[in-house]
Amino acid sequence: MWKGIIGNMKIHFNQLDRGYYKYKNEYDRAAIAALESGWYTLGKKCEKFEEEFASYIGSRYCVGLNSGLDALILAMRALNIGAGDEVIVPANTYIASVLGITENGATPVFVEPDKYYNLDADKIEEKITPRTKAILVVHLYGQAANIQKIKDIADHHKLYLVEDCAQSHGARFKGIMTGKWGDIGCFSYYPTKNIGAFGDGGSIVTDDQELFEKIKMMRNYGSKVKYHNEMLGVNSRLDEIQASLLSVRLKHYNEMREQREKLARKYLEHIKNSQVILPAIRAGAEHVWHLFVVKIEKGNRGAFQEYLSEHGISTQLHYPIPPHLSEAYRYLGHKKGAFPKTEHYAETLVSLPLYTGMTDQEIEYVIEVINRFTGKTIED
């Protein structure tokens, strides 16, 4: 192991400036070129990024939007999902996945996770009713869900399949990119995401020309031609500065991805502590390590976080309150205990620092501190 580095290093959960400085000259040039162009929304830079991103995913079309949440809302709306419809969604997810459904007046039907923390394909069919319109799958923490099986279920029951890829840019299942499996793939470029803008951003990808044209209209007040509003639209545009910065990000994504992989491998190979349960990877699935999530059993998570914090290491929870127990969704009437696996994960999972530009010394320090965690028992 590494020698005596335990002390008081400061390890932030994320350090977004490291990602900027890594390619500073290119970001600076891209932003200035956008400023100097005199054209700031829905121009050539957005179009260029849309083409690049569609080609990266292997999809025919991409539409740049204002956020990942807008991508989810507009995807559901474009599929005519609304009041009276039900959408299957994982109970273990970020609330934005669920908001994409309820913003359209549809009802989310929660399904428990598997041991990879993703939607459990074996528990979907029992939740399908005559009102079910779609399955919204989330590739959580960066790992592709059991998407082949989920797609087969969607096809068999003639349901739409929508993918929330906000955490899974570039993760493949059996060689096919997440975002390419469903009718629509939804992406976020929020700054902390694997491909992040320097502000808000999102997109949808699809192979369906009609859906593409519909969502393209929707993002710009429902019009193709100015002042000719064919449908009720919104304002959800990916601006030219963000789009040109995203082109730089995408160009270097393979390097950034490899670095995340290297860091994750270090955690996987060197964390040796029986109290810390490491993430498992499904056969056939790729993990792009948006988050490195470990499980701390026996009510020890608080002590673990406190101990790391005392050693200068920040951690985060993804997510402490599952959507079905949030105040916002109280009206759905789910009580504590309704989704025990999800609730158990909400009480035991914790995310470790992992970001572009994290140094070997930093991650080795985190590992050494973790390996010395002795925990406390329930009796304490």
Ligand X SMILES: *Cc1c(COP(=O)(O)O)cnc(C)c1O
Interface residues with ligand X (CB under 6 A) are: 67-69, 93-94, 96-97, 138, 164, 166-167, 188, 190, 200, 202
Strand partners, 205: 62, 185
Distance CA 294, CA 292 (A): 7
Q: Which is nearer to ligand X, 173 or 190 (CB)?
A: 190
Looking at the chain, the number of H-run helices and the number of E-run strands are 12, 14
Closest CA to 144 of 38, 21, 244, 287: 287
Q: Which is nearer to ligand X, 56 or 189 (CB)?
A: 189
Q: Which is nearer to ligand X, 89 or 109 (CB)?
A: 89
Distance CA 131, CA 109 (A): 11
Rounded to a whole number of angstroms, the minimum distance from the CB of residue 154 to ligand X is 19
Measured between alpha carbons, how far is residue 348 from residues 147, 276, 353 in Å? 25, 10, 17
Bridging pattern class, strands 132-138 and 160-164: parallel
| 238 in Cβ contact with 203 (< 8 Å) | yes
Closest CA to 159 of 150, 168, 167, 148: 150
Distance CA 61, CA 52 (A): 10
Rounded to a whole number of angstroms, the minimum distance from the CB of residue 321 to ligand X is 15
- Name the residue with tokens 């260029």: 48
Rounded to a whole number of angstroms, the minimum distance from the CB of residue 47 to ligand X is 20
Q: Which is nearer to ligand X, 164 or 240 (CB)?
A: 164
| 204 in Cβ contact with 213 (< 8 Å) | no
Q: Which is nearer to ligand X, 75 or 109 (CB)?
A: 75
Rounded to a whole number of angstroms, the minimum distance from the CB of residue 175 to ligand X is 23
- Name the residue with tokens 């064919």: 230
Cis omega (within 30 of 0) for bond into 56: no
Q: Which is nearer to ligand X, 166 or 256 (CB)?
A: 166
Q: Which is nearer to ligand X, 102 or 275 (CB)?
A: 102
Distance CA 53, CA 144 (A): 18
Rounded to a whole number of angstroms, the minimum distance from the CB of residue 206 to ligand X is 17
Rounded to a whole number of angstroms, the minimum distance from the CB of residue 131 to ligand X is 24
Q: Which residue is nearest to ligand X (CB)?
A: 68
Amino acid, res. 172? R
Q: Which is nearer to ligand X, 266 or 290 (CB)?
A: 290
Rounded to a whole number of angstroms, the minimum distance from the CB of residue 140 to ligand X is 6
Rounded to a whole number of angstroms, the minimum distance from the CB of residue 165 to ligand X is 8
